[in-house]
Amino acid sequence: MNTQNLPTPTAKINAAFSGYFPTWCPGCGNFGIWSSLKSAFNKLKLHPDKMAIVFGIGCSGNMNDFLWANSFHALHGRAVPTAIGVKIANHSLPVIVIAGDGDCYGEGGNHLLHAARGNHDITVVVHDNRVYGLTTGQVAPTAFKGAKSKSTPGGIIEVPVNPVALVLTQGATFIAQGFSQDMIHLTDLIVAGVEHKGFSLINVFQPCVTFNPANSYSFYRERVYKLGADYDPSNFRSALDKSMELEEKIPIGVIYKSERPVYTDSLNQLKTSVLAGQSQNTEFIKFINEFV
Amino acid sequence: MIDFTVKIGGEAGFGIMTTGLFLGKIATRSGYHAFEYSEYPSLIRGGHNVIEVRISDALVHSQTSEVDVLLCLNKETFDLHAGEVREGGVIVFDNEKTDESLLKKPDRRISYVHIPFTRILRENQLATVMLNNIALGVLMQIIGADPDILNKLIAETFARKGEEVITKNQQAAALGLSEAKKDFPEGYKTKLVKINGVPEKVYLTGNEAFGLGAIMAGCRFYCAYPMTPTSALLHYLAAKAEKCGMVVKHAEDEIAVINMALGASWAGVRSMVGTSGGGFALMVEAVSLAGITETPIVIVMGQRPGPATGMPTWTEQGDLHFVIRSGHGEFPKIVLAPADSEEAVRLTVEAFNLADKYQTPVFVMGDKYMQEGHQSVDMEKISSLPSVINRGKLLSQEDLLKTGQYKRYLVTDDGISPRALPGMEGSLHQANSYEHNEEGHTSESASDRIQQVEKRNRKNDTYLAEDFRLPEVYGPKESPLTVISWGSMKGPILQALKETDGLFNYIHFSRLWPLDKAKLKAFLKGFRRFLLVENNSTAQLGQLLTMETAMEFPDTLLKYSGRPIYPEEVISKVREML
Ligand SMILES: Cc1ncc(C[n+]2csc(CCOP(=O)(O)OP(=O)(O)O)c2C)c(N)n1
Ligand code: SF4
């Protein structure tokens, strides 16, 4: 986007995290996610200097200029490994990934599995609009079978990916689903996700009003339901069952939560200080001596 | 002068490489220099492996085509390599496993030493893993080395496995030694008599030198996906990680590798990745990301013959253009290509300083030949290397607070902007993959674009003004013929130079990019006639020099068989031209 003619950013004046006013299409589901993120960060009392957001490339990733905190606008599909690197380097920083479904489940799908396996302590917020917004509406891996788009005029042949089941079976320790219109609920999910120690995925249903009229606000309003107090997110089996509710009725809320040591906890090198704060190893002579 | 080569061959999986390494260490601990070269197929078991160790009382830079002692642990070694044994040399083979009358012996005076390896194993109920100890014992007798050095090496190697294992290994070596004494009491004419009063030596591979350089430079994050010839760098650093406080990550693929490293570097940690051509191809998009986000990173690029999977365990210098041109878009990058262990440590340390100074990708190129072979170097040469850490314009918390409104991509005269780290107070900024303004916000305005392109390009000018070095010249100043090469081919060329008492001189490029056209042209004009020597088929350095200086380099010695160039090949080409 072009920031040239935009109004003065608000961040420096008052509200933390507020950058330029978004350039998304009016009515885009991204607005709801944006507001929820800001509310969540405020609730969590995060400081824009002392956190890191890694953005993917897409309409979603364009939030880089609307949501201000220290951030790395990464490559398409690569926000997750970039975020893992940040976390290893400074595990005292909260690290959040903001990416699209094409970015995270398509181009960078492989990274997601391995991030879950490693239980890297990052929170991945995926804007699930079932299309590639930024490149004008081709199908995303989350598109329902048969969805027609510029790249699939005859309807997509593949069945959609199942992000929840995918990361659940690969060792993710926090999995939630939200709906961009239910911002209070989504805010709580983001707070819980960031507070969770371990890998967390928050898949957010986000209507793309321009390129995906089929999966509109009303489509989701008719289908989503909140997981109640009777639902036990610590039960792997029931989480797996919930993950299969994909089309008729769609659960939102925390689908799974468990505890497992996070990646950086297993590294003795990080026991006393963060990696970024460590100084030169002055005892390299002993490493040289090993080659005699 | 002492200068001889021992070659050991056998089936893969029988510890041939360890035998070679021990022999090299015995030589260096006896006060000699050693150079190791190995050939093996891309197989784990059953293939034919050979390793050769050239030992000299003077500095030795490369392998040679003539062998003094050939130790055959299978018949194939005899069949393939007996012809390389020089007049008066020695061939060791298992006369009980191989019918001597079936061997095609070279038409030369050679001593044949009969060692019944398989019978020794059987009679002493030793496992086949002991074969290399027996072989080493045999070699101790043939080259007259001190068996105590071997015994001590065994004791150190198996220290953690206990007394019993040590004794067993030492006994196997003693069996080999006494068997060789029986059949060949006089030994080879050249003896490895311990030399005292010479500087202590270290014996390491290029991969280990890269690792050591990274440790010395304070690298704290090494990320890689295994790929020959750079896998051993991952293994070395993984083994040392806790001891040196580095996090070593074997990630899911090379794309993840470099993006993780960039994330870690952005957050303030000196980071390095290592790979070979195929893996590097996957990293290329992120090289460009490092360019635009101005994130420092050191990339070890170990070449092997391509295209695609190519010849995984062989050597080539085929990726120079690929590396120099890697990454879409225009941005500065720095390419170094060390030749030997000493250069590899030194330039790796320097690569980190350059990466921090210029906030851009810096490459350290190697190849199978220099990365996998051990080479001796005087310890003092490594331990005295400057390990000064220069983090360039990285701001301290204090400085940052004094800055006021922080601008990550501040336009500066030298093109380099002050760098703050996430987590610091007042650090709020974006590292942006999109073109951006000074603050880091995405911008498509023509003026921001022009400003940032020029700012990044100015880093090139700053490098040329402050860090460009002309290539080094070896040999006599005045010479009718000048050899030009780069990276690992320095070794065979220096060896040729030495063996011809300076018949030519040699221009060695270890800093390949960027080049200062004017200085380079003026420098090259000072020489008369050139011979370009490269381990590839298209003379990539030659093309680069032509592009930069408009000079032509019609005379070439190019080798692209997957094997390194031998000093003998350089000598005969030089003689042909003079
Ligand atoms: C390697 C690479 N391939 C393709 C693109 C082009 N591209 C940019 S965004 C995008 C897809 C965006 O879809 P999604 O990730 O779902 O995000 P959305 O725009 O829907 O938020 C593509 C294909 C790119 N930037 N990089
Ligand atoms: S194209 Fe779709 S996703 Fe992108 S901004 Fe417009 S409505 Fe939102």
Residue A130, in any domain of the structure: yes
**Per-residue DSSP letter, A143:** P
B472-577: CATH topology: Rossmann fold (3.40.50)
Residue among B247, B387, B433 whose CB faces A284 most closely: B387
Mutate to test the pocket of ligand 2, among A21, A23, A28 (most ligand atoms within 8 A of CB): A28
- The rounded Å distance from CA A222 to ligand 2 centre is 21
Element (H, E) at B4: strand B3-11
Shortest distance between the Cα of B216 and any Cα of chain A, in A, equals 6
Query: What's the pLDDT at A5?
Result: 41
Neighbours of B10 (CB within 10 A): 23
Q: Whose CA is nearest to atom 24 of ligand 1?
A: A76
The residue written with tokens 């709020």 in the block is B428
The answer to whether the Cβ–Cβ distance between A88 and B285 falls below 8 Å is: no
Paired residues of B93 in beta bridges: B114
Orientation of helix B16-29 relative to helix B147-157, angle to 10°: 120
Query: What's the pLDDT at A15?
Result: 63
The DSSP annotation for B108-166 comes to: S--EEEE--HHHHHHHTT--GGGHHHHHHHHHHHHTT--HHHHHHHHHHHTGGG-HHHH
The whole-angstrom separation of Cα A87 and Cα A66 is: 23
Q: How high is the ipTM of this complex?
A: 0.96
Query: What's the pLDDT at A136?
Result: 97
Neighbours of A236 (CB within 10 A): 12
- Which ligand is nearest to the Cα of residue A140, counting in written order? 1
The answer to whether the Cβ–Cβ distance between A2 and B223 falls below 8 Å is: no
Contact status of B202 with chain A (Cβ, < 8 Å): yes
Query: What's the pLDDT at A1?
Result: 40
Paired residues of B412 in beta bridges: none
pLDDT class of A14 with cuts at 50, 70, 90: very low
The answer to whether the Cβ–Cβ distance between B262 and A82 falls below 8 Å is: yes
In what side-by-side order are the strands of the sheet with B374-378? B111-114, B85-93, B67-72, B3-11, B48-56, B33-39, B374-378, B201-205
Query: What's the pLDDT at A6?
Result: 42
Query: What's the pLDDT at A284?
Result: 87
Residue A12 has pLDDT above 70, yes or no: no
Element (H, E) at B259: helix B254-266
- The rounded Å distance from CA A1 to ligand 2 centre is 13
Residue among A88, A110, A269 whose CB faces B245 most closely: A269
Domain spans of chain B, in order of start: 3-183, 203-383, 397-466, 472-577
Asked if residues B313 and B562 have their Cβ atoms less than 8 Å apart, the reply is no
**Per-residue b/e over B420-445, b at no fewer than 16 CB within 10 Å?**
bbbbbebbbbbbbbbbbbbbbbbbee
pLDDT class of A11 with cuts at 50, 70, 90: very low
pTM of the model: 0.97
Residue A4 has pLDDT above 60, yes or no: no
- The rounded Å distance from CA A167 to ligand 1 centre is 21
Around ligand 1, the residues with Cβ closer than 6 Å are A 57-60, 76, 100-103, 127, 129, 131-135, 140
List all residues 6 or more positions away from A17 whose beta carbon is below 8 Å from its beta carbon: A11, A37, A38, A41, A42, A48, A67, A68, A69
Rg for chain A, CA atoms, rounded? 20
CA dihedral A104, A109, A110, A114 (to 10 degrees): 50
Count of domains observed in chain A: 1
* Domain coverage including residue A96: 12-291
Contact status of B208 with chain A (Cβ, < 8 Å): yes
Residue A79, in any domain of the structure: yes
Q: Is the omega angle on the peptide bond into residue B480 within 30 degrees of 0, that is, cis?
A: no
List all residues 6 or more positions away from B302 whose beta carbon is below 8 Å from its beta carbon: B207, B227, B228, B229, B230, B233, B274, B275, B276, B365, B366, B367, B368, B371
Residue A7, in any domain of the structure: no
CATH at A71: 3.40.50.970
Query: What's the pLDDT at B360?
Result: 98
B3-183: CATH topology: Pyruvate-ferredoxin Oxidoreductase; domain 3 (3.40.920)
Residue A78, in any domain of the structure: yes
Atom of ligand 1 nearest to the CA of A127: 21
Shortest distance between the Cα of B119 and any Cα of chain A, in A, equals 34
List CB contacts (< 8 A) between B264 and chain A. 85-86, 88-89, 275
Residue A206, in any domain of the structure: yes
List CB contacts (< 8 A) between A284 and chain B. 212, 215-216, 244, 387
B203-383: CATH topology: Rossmann fold (3.40.50)
Residue A2, in any domain of the structure: no
Nearest to A157 by CA among A179, A137, A141: A141
- The rounded Å distance from CA A48 to ligand 2 centre is 26
- Which ligand is nearest to the Cα of residue A105, counting in written order? 1
- Which ligand is nearest to the Cα of residue A142, counting in written order? 1
Query: What's the pLDDT at A70?
Result: 97
Q: Quick one: residue B333, left, alpha or beta (phi over 0 = left, psi -120 to 50 = alpha)?
A: beta
Query: What's the pLDDT at A278?
Result: 84
- The rounded Å distance from CA A100 to ligand 1 centre is 8
Nearest-by-CA chain A residue for B247: A269
Residue A80, in any domain of the structure: yes
Do B3-183 and B203-383 fold alike per CATH? no
Is the model more confident about A5 or about A244? A244
Atom of ligand 2 nearest to the CA of A59: 4
Residue A3 has pLDDT above 70, yes or no: no
Query: What's the pLDDT at A7?
Result: 41
Start-end of H helices in B391-471: 397-403, 446-466
Q: Quick one: residue B501, left, alpha or beta (phi over 0 = left, psi -120 to 50 = alpha)?
A: left
List CB contacts (< 8 A) between B437 and chain A. 3
How many residues are listed for chain A in this entry? Answer: 292
Residue segments in chain B with a per-residue pLDDT below the cut of 70: none
Q: Model confidence over B356-401: pLDDT tens digits?
A: 999 999 999 999 999 999 999 999 999 998 888 999 999 999 999 9
Shortest distance between the Cα of B418 and any Cα of chain A, in A, equals 16
Instruction: Work out the burial of residue B454: count CB atoms within 10 Å of its CB; fewer than 13 is exposed, 13-18 middle, 19 or more buried.
Output: exposed
Nearest-by-CA chain A residue for B396: A277
Count how many pairs of residues, chain A against chain B, have C-beta atoms within 8 Å. 206
The whole-angstrom separation of Cα A127 and Cα B345 is: 46
Structure tokens at A129: 């609009």
Residue A36, in any domain of the structure: yes
Residues of B (249-268) whose Cβ lies below 8 Å from A? 249, 251-253, 255-257, 259-268
Structure tokens at A44: 């969590």
Asked if residues A127 and A60 have their Cβ atoms less than 8 Å apart, the reply is yes
